[in-house]
Structure 1
């Protein structure tokens, strides 16, 4: 008997036209490192008395479908996750490319996805419908594998023994690495950075109406949040002075390859807290900034992501 193995698992996604209704086709095979996406339905203990010490049968509670997907930050498939986070991009360029896809924060309408996870050897094909991205986060550092974590909220799960995604299209996997990363502050390279964590959250509001199937009616975005934590080697007072003055700066996090692909994530108004500068010993002194972003009054948005590749559209 075949046993399920993660090495054999597959994932495919497509954007829905109608929330909660997976499309008949148009799925794309998606690279991923791990996923906790799934549906669960807890049981409620019976509170009834009068039938002895042994409890009565439990009752089913509402269905919850959500989870995380860890994906590589690459030049092609990562565009799907950016679209899920910010909405459809504005794309420019001519065939055969390159194409420039510009994503902007602030949209009140986010697209929903259908995601199928497959374990062919069982067989088990789980289709998640009405999937909306709640949070996208990643870390910049000197070495290691560059991945992002997408936190998702789904309407429900349907399990079958055959695939509903058909034969998904495949993209080229061209990964960015930490070695390809750079950070700029107000257009100038920011030095002495040890690591940076970036988290964009849509702060979804689940529409938990009464339904016969126990599923949610939707997940609407509320006030977004863009936060992070930057560890720097304390070498000058530039960031500390900005924190004390309470003025914002622009931070740009970018990755580029010699083949021409690039990803640039620009936060237009970043506010820094005043950090505690500690001397912990004879080693170098570090400072930590738990920053927050806000809407830039001039541009009218909080952040912009620009992805350059040879994908025509998302």
Structure 2
């Protein structure tokens, strides 16, 4: 008897033309480390009296379809998640490498269909109307570099055969922590121990009355870009900025020796005044939980640039 194993699981993704309707083809095989994407439908226990001490049968509640996907920070696959979070990029270049420029502030975002496959059961779950609610990752000295995409879906359809067909594979080119760099106002920011970045679309689920219990959609509201920087306390630059209430530009970048790169820029970052503690004889560190806002000159909060061999997304 075959048993489900995560090692055999697969994921395929395609963007939808119509929200909630999986496309006929055009799926791409996506690399992922883990996923909690799924649909659940809780039960409401009966509140009725007069039928003895044993309760009556429960009633089904509305369907909720959402979850996380942990994905590698990859030079090609990352573009799909950036498109889901920011909308279509502006792509330049007549031949490889191509430059894909994403910007925050789009009023509408694309929806996706994502199929997770367990071939040995077989179980193929197609999630339609999937939208990206949040994308976050961390920078540090070592370890595997991954990002977490928090998703909201309209619903789930389970079949015994794949609807995605044979998805097109990608060439895996992962960024590593040692490929990363942090700059402030164009100059390298020294003494950075770790950093975290979190971009949120803050999706508003449209929970209308439907016979299938699904949502009608998910609208992006006011976006948020937050994070933290842990630094070895070596000078007063960041503390002075925080005290003065000034903004700076922070850039988080990765570059591979083969030429692929990813650059994420928060154009107007504000820092809180931190507590500087002396906890022992070791080096003193300071943590800044920063927030980004719209830059008055550029008219946007952040930009992301991905350079790779993909012609389009």
After TM superposition, is the score higher than 0.5? yes
CA-CA distance at 1:37 after TM superposition? 0.1
Partner of residue 138, structure 1: 137
Partner of residue 28, structure 2: 28
Partner of residue 16, structure 1: 16
Structure 2 distance, partners of 1:59, 1:227, is 40
Structure 1 distance, partners of 2:262, 2:178, is 13
Secondary structure at the counterpart of residue 110 of structure 1: coil
Residue by residue over 1:115-170, the C-alpha shift from the partner in whole angstroms, topping out at 9 and shown as x without a partner, is: 00000000000000000000000000000000000000000000000000011001
Which residues in structure 2 correspond to 1:153-168 (within 5 Å)? 153-168=152-167
Structure 2 distance, partners of 1:204, 1:299, is 24
Structure 2 distance, partners of 1:212, 1:69, is 29
Structure 2 distance, partners of 1:184, 1:230, is 12
- List structure 1 segments (4+ residues) > 6 angstroms apart after TM superposition: none
Partner of residue 200, structure 1: 199
Aligned positions, number: 313
Partner of residue 72, structure 1: 72
Partner of residue 292, structure 1: 291
Structure 2 distance, partners of 1:20, 1:63, is 14
Which residues in structure 2 correspond to 1:45-194 (within 5 Å)? 45-95=45-95, 97-194=96-193
Q: With the length of structure 1 as denominator, give the TM-score of the two structures.
A: 0.99
Structure 1 distance, partners of 2:170, 2:21, is 24
Structure 2 distance, partners of 1:171, 1:9, is 16
Partner of residue 228, structure 1: 227
Unaligned ranges ≥5, structure 2? none
Secondary structure at the counterpart of residue 49 of structure 2: coil
Structure 1 distance, partners of 2:62, 2:207, is 9
Structure 1 distance, partners of 2:156, 2:256, is 38
